[in-house]
Amino acid sequence: MRAVTSLLALALAATTMAVAGPAAAGAPAPGGDVWKVPASATVTIKGHGYGHGHGMSQYGAEGAARQGLTYRQIAEFYYPGTEWGIAKGRVTVLLTADTTDDLIVNARPGLTVRDTATKAKRRLALPDNGAKRWRVAVGPDGVSRVFYRDRRWHAWQVLKGEGEFYAGGEPITLVTPSGERSYRGRLRTAVTGAGERVTVNALDLESYLKGVVPLEIPASWSAEAVRAQAVAARTYAAYERRHPLSDAYQICDTSSCQVYGGVDAEYPASDDAVDATAGTILTSGGEPAFTQFGSSSGGWTSAGSVPYLPARRDPYDGWSGNPVHTWTTTIDDARLEQAWPAVGNLTRIAVTARDGNGDWGGRVRSIALRGTGGRVVVSGDTFRAVLGLRSTWVTFKVAGR
């Protein structure tokens, strides 16, 4: 996963599993990081935080705002060493809900289609002909055509390239297999380098953010926390523009990037946060920073891939309203045996490496499961992903049944 594990939308990224493989690099596990497992046992897992821990903790941002920090102070705490900058322009977003090869929108006043292949990028004003929907689809001959629908579909125009709908800045309603969704800017069909036909939303960066921020943090939270989220999200989008996912689009609309819901997601309080921070981003070396963020650090952020994502104590995450600062879950030993059948009947759990920060020696980097069938070593990220844990910062308690 490239970007974030957000408060309202989280994705778990699994890494590879090794049988009797080497432990991951990192601080050695404390001597007490070994638990014997009886033939029939329950395993209680206690943990801190929710997400990968890189960059800004969203619960931490709210805790900091409640202590009187401004959004700039919050951003400077979670991304130390970055500088302030400006980002403007447009962004192109993959709309994953549209899983079909065509592009269908509802009719509306002012709707126009553009042929992207013509030299003048010819605009075709759509007639008021009673159509309920308009569609761009490619036929068996490989040619894109515009269709309209009243009681049935009718061919209307042949295109030389792909089709792009827009309505003079007004929202356009996209029809997807899972329902209708409205978006600002332009909706276009595009073809990736792998030949996949996708639907892309091209729009102003600030309009895009208004469909992101309330899906990443509660808009009802403290204004300074929501503004800090707006800065982090804007910076991340600006970073992705420089490191696009595809030649057809720059960023996606899921938690693999950051969640985007278009017009339907917009909310007045988060709109205000976007407007109050308009254009403001964090930079490093003169370029947009890689501003990862997640739900809860658990009290320590974890080191990311760049210097401004350090591991550091987080004094703001543990406020009373954070339900995932510390958490517990209980599973049967059979759950582990089913997940890693090579161990056979599980007899021992051993954390073999941690990152060295906070309780229990910090986040798990590698863990070894031993049983009657052998020994399996997995990364902390894999262990978390397979079991659906909130984070890799965990310890264990084993009891016989």
In the predicted structure, residue 3 carries a pLDDT above the cut 80:
no
Residues 243 and 166 in one domain: no
With tokens 């006043």, the residue in question is 109
pLDDT at 32: 73
pLDDT at 237: 98
Residues 71 and 107 in one domain: no
Q: Convert the pLDDT of each residue in 147-171 to its tens digit.
A: 999 999 999 999 998 999 999 889 9
In the predicted structure, residue 8 carries a pLDDT above the cut 70:
no
pLDDT at 83: 98
* CA dihedral (192, 160, 130, 203) positive or negative: positive
Residues 269 and 334 in one domain: no
313 falls within a domain: no
Q: What average pLDDT does the segment 70-96 reach?
A: 98
Neighbours of 265 (CB within 10 A): 19
**What are the structure tokens assigned to 201, written together?**
């939303």
DSSP string over 107-145: --TT-EEEETTSTT--EEEPP-SS-SEEEEEE-TTS-EE
Quick one: pLDDT band at residue 17, thresholds 50, 70, 90? very low
Q: What average pLDDT does the segment 341-370 reach?
A: 97
pLDDT at 118: 75
pLDDT at 351: 98
d(CA 332, CA 336): 8
Angle, CA 296 vertex, CA 291 and CA 300 arms, to 5°: 85
pLDDT at 28: 56
pLDDT at 19: 37
In the predicted structure, residue 312 carries a pLDDT above the cut 80:
yes
Residues 85 and 219 in one domain: yes
SS3 assignment for 256-270: CCCCCCHHHHCCHHH
59, with CB counted inside 10 A (0-12, 13-18, 19+), is buried
Q: What average pLDDT does the segment 85-114 reach?
A: 96
241 falls within a domain: yes
Helices then strands, counting H and E runs in the chain, come out as 8, 27
In the predicted structure, residue 363 carries a pLDDT above the cut 90:
yes
Q: What are phi and psi of 233, to 5 degrees?
A: -70, -40
Residues 77 and 215 in one domain: yes
355 falls within a domain: yes
pLDDT at 11: 33
Give the residue among 148, 134, 133, 136 at the shortest CA–CA distance from 100.
136
192 falls within a domain: no
In the predicted structure, residue 14 carries a pLDDT above the cut 80:
no
In the predicted structure, residue 101 carries a pLDDT above the cut 90:
yes
With tokens 């404390």, the residue in question is 30
| Average pLDDT of the chain, as a whole number | 92
Give the residue among 87, 50, 141, 82 at the shortest CA–CA distance from 363.
50
Integer angstrom CA distances of residue 88 from 168, 169, 256, 292, 333 = 20, 17, 23, 20, 53
108 falls within a domain: yes
pLDDT at 128: 84
Residues 167 and 244 in one domain: no
Q: State how beta strands 112-115 and 163-166 pair.
A: antiparallel
Residues 229 and 277 in one domain: yes
In the predicted structure, residue 16 carries a pLDDT above the cut 80:
no
Name the domain boundary from 294, 316, 342.
294
Q: Convert the pLDDT of each residue in 18-42 to its tens digit.
A: 333 333 345 555 557 999 999 999 9
pLDDT at 120: 57
pLDDT at 333: 96
7 falls within a domain: no
**Which residues form the domain of 338?**
17-50+324-400
304 falls within a domain: no
223 falls within a domain: yes
Number of domains in the chain: 3
Q: What average pLDDT does the segment 249-278 reach?
A: 97
Quick one: pLDDT band at residue 125, thresholds 50, 70, 90? confident
pLDDT at 274: 98
